[in-house]
Structure formats: structure tokens, C-alpha cells
Amino acid sequence: MLTLRDKGLLFYIIEHCKRIEEKIKDKTKEYFYSDKDTIEIVCFNILQIGELVKNFSDDFIIIYNKMPWKEIKGMRDWVAHGYGTIDLDKVWDTALNGIIPLKNYCKYILSIEKSGA
């Protein structure tokens, strides 16, 4: 059973995932590299996702272990402390290939908790 806190965190993570999806939808890698606003928005939302993940209960992390939570937290730290050395290839790859699976897994967790499975 999800705690109320964990459930809320999932909802917030889904919203940040959606924001990243919206910003890169129909965009090329070249566009991403050339648009500082898009880079900042994607990085900010990745940072927020990582911060939210840091607040999951220990039980949540143990039970819902199909996502690399530790790496997501690490990505947050890397973006937050990159100090101008952020690898845009890594950010783009995360936005393109990591965000949708994360969003879908969070939705899945909420759906199975809702159904009582």
C-alpha cells in the first residue's frame, strides 16, 4: 500500500515528466542543443524529478524496484552540481528515452494501488 506521501510524489513526478515531453515533442537534437530555454526547462524538471525521488519511503523503493531510483537521484545531483559542465547528450538521451518509461511506471504504480492489486 502506498503512503499518501509516496502517492503525492508519484503525481508530481508524472507532471514533471509531462513537462519534459511537451518541451521536446517534435524537436530534434540539434534544436535542443541550440535552445537554451529548452535545455534549462528540461534540466530543471530532471532536477525536480530527482529531488522527488529522494523523498520516497524506503518501503516504496524496495517494493517498486523496476526503475533505477538511485540513478535518477544521481542524475539530479549531476544536473544540480554540473556547474556548466552538463553533458547535453546525456540530458537529451534521458529526456528522449528515460522520461516516458518513468512516467508510465509511475502511472502503473498508481493504477495497481487504485485497483487494490
Buried b (16+ CB within 10 A) or exposed e, 66-95: ebebeebbebbebbeeeeeebeeeebbebb
- One pLDDT digit (tens) per residue for the chain, 117 residues: 899 999 999 999 999 999 999 999 999 999 999 999 999 999 999 999 999 999 999 999 999 999 999 999 999 888 888 767 889 999 999 999 999 999 999 999 999 988 765
Give the pLDDT of residue 85: 81
- Say whether 81 is catalytic: yes
Total structural domains within the chain: 1
Catalytic one among 5, 16, 19, 81?
Answer: 81
Contact of 102 with 15, CB cutoff 8 Å: no
In the prediction, which pLDDT does 50 show?
A: 96
Angle formed at CA 57 by CA 5 and CA 44, multiple of 5 degrees: 70
pLDDT at residue 22, as a whole number: 97
Q: Count Cα atoms within 13 angstroms, Cβ side, for 102.
A: 29
- Is residue 76 flagged as an active site residue? yes
- pTM, 2 dp: 0.92
pLDDT of res. 83: 64
Range of the domain at 100: 4-115
